[in-house]
C-alpha cells in the first residue's frame, strides 16, 4: 500500500491501531495528536497539534501536506468526550460545543485543506471514525453521540459531492473496542449504574470485545483499491452488537 496517509488522534487506542496496520502494509503514515504516546507505532511521523480548533485542524493538515508532498488518505479519527452518568441534564453547556469541535468540526476543517489536493490528483480516500452511540444514543453521552451523528451525515453528503472527482468518503463505526479511553469511559458508566462492565462484553454476538487492530483492518480495506467501488457507506465493526436492517 504505497499511500500517503494522515491519521488524526493517531498516537493511542484505535488511532494507533489504524496507524500500525497501515504502516505495516507499506503506507507512509503521519499521525497527529496533542501529545506523543507510548502506543504510537514505530515508523510513523508525529505532528503535534490540536484539531479541536479550526486553526489547529488546518495547521495539522497543512503540515501533513508539506511532510508527505501530497495526500492519498485522511483518517479523521480524533475524538473523545466526558461521560455524564447523571444523564443529559447534567451535561454542561460548554461541553456541547466542545463535543462538536472535537468530534465533528475537526474533520470538516482537516478535509477543507486536504480535499483540493485529492481532487487535483483525481484520487483520494477519506475515512471518518464514528461511534456506536451515534446509532443508539444514550443520555449520558448525548453530546458525543449527536456530534458523531453529525459527522456520519456530513460523511454521506461529502461522498456524494466528491464521487465524480475520484475521491471516496466512508465512515467506520466501532463498537466496544478495548482501548484506554474507551475502557475508562465504560468503567465510569458502570460505576454510576452499578453493573459490571463485563456484562457489556457478554452481550456481543461474536463473544469478545474488539481490538484496535480490528478497526485498522476495516480502514485498510476501505482505503485500498479493493474498495474502489465503495463510497458513502457507514461500516459497523462491532461484533454484531448493533444489528440493523
Question: H/E element holding 165?
Answer: none
Q: What is the DSSP string of 189-208?
A: HHHHHT--THHHHHT-TTSS
Q: Respond yes or no: is residue 144 known to be catalytic.
A: yes
Residue 61: all three cell numbers together:
493538515
Would you call 16 exposed, middle or buried from its count of C-beta atoms within 10 A (0-12, 13-18, 19+)? Answer: buried
31 in Cβ contact with 46 (< 8 Å): yes
Choosing from 12, 144, 154, 229, the catalytic residue is: 144
Beta bridge partners of 32: 8, 47
Dihedral pair phi/psi, residue 60, rounded to 5° = -65, -45
C-alpha closest to that of 105 among 79, 83, 136, 81 = 79
Unique residue bearing C-alpha cell 465504560: 186
CA 69 to chain centre: 23
- The residue count for the chain: 245
- Quote the CA–CA distance of 219 and 125 in Å, as a whole number: 10
Residue 25 DSSP code: T
Catalytic residues: 144
Amino acid at each position: 500500500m504505497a499511500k500517503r496517509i494522515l491519521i488524526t488522534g493517531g498516537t493511542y487506542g484505535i488511532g494507533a491501531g489504524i496507524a500500525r496496520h497501515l504502516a505495516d502494509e507499506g503506507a507512509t503514515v503521519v499521525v497527529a495528536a496533542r501529545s506523543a504516546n507510548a502506543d504510537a507505532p514505530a515508523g510513523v511521523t508525529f505532528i503535534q497539534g490540536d484539531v479541536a480548533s479550526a486553526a489547529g485542524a488546518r495547521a495539522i493538515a497543512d503540515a501533513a501536506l508539506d511532510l508527505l508532498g501530497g495526500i492519498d488518505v485522511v483518517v479523521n479519527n480524533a475524538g473523545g468526550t466526558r461521560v455524564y452518568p447523571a444523564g443529559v441534564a447534567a451535561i454542561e453547556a460548554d461541553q456541547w460545543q466542545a463535543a462538536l469541535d472535537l468530534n465533528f468540526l475537526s474533520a470538516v476543517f482537516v478535509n477543507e485543506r486536504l480535499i483540493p489536493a485529492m481532487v487535483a490528483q483525481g484520487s483520494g480516500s477519506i475515512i471518518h471514525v464514528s461511534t456506536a452511540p451515534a446509532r443508539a444514543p444514550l443520555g449520558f453521552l448525548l453530546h458525543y453521540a449527536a456530534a458523531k451523528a453529525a459527522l456520519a451525515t456530513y460523511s454521506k453528503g461529502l461522498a456524494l459531492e466528491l464521487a465524480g472527482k475520484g475521491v471516496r468518503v466512508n465512515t467506520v463505526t466501532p463498537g466496544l473496542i478495548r482501548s484506554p479511553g474507551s475502557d475508562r469511559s465504560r468503567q465510569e458508566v458502570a460505576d454510576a449504574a452499578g453493573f459490571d462492565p463485563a456484562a457489556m462484553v457478554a452481550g456481543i454476538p461474536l463473544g469478545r470485545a474488539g481490538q484496535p487492530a480490528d478497526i485498522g483492518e476495516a480502514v485498510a480495506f476501505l482505503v485500498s483499491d479493493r474498495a474502489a467501488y465503495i463510497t458513502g457507506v457507514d461500516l459497523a465493526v462491532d461484533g454484531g452488537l448493533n444489528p440493523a436492517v
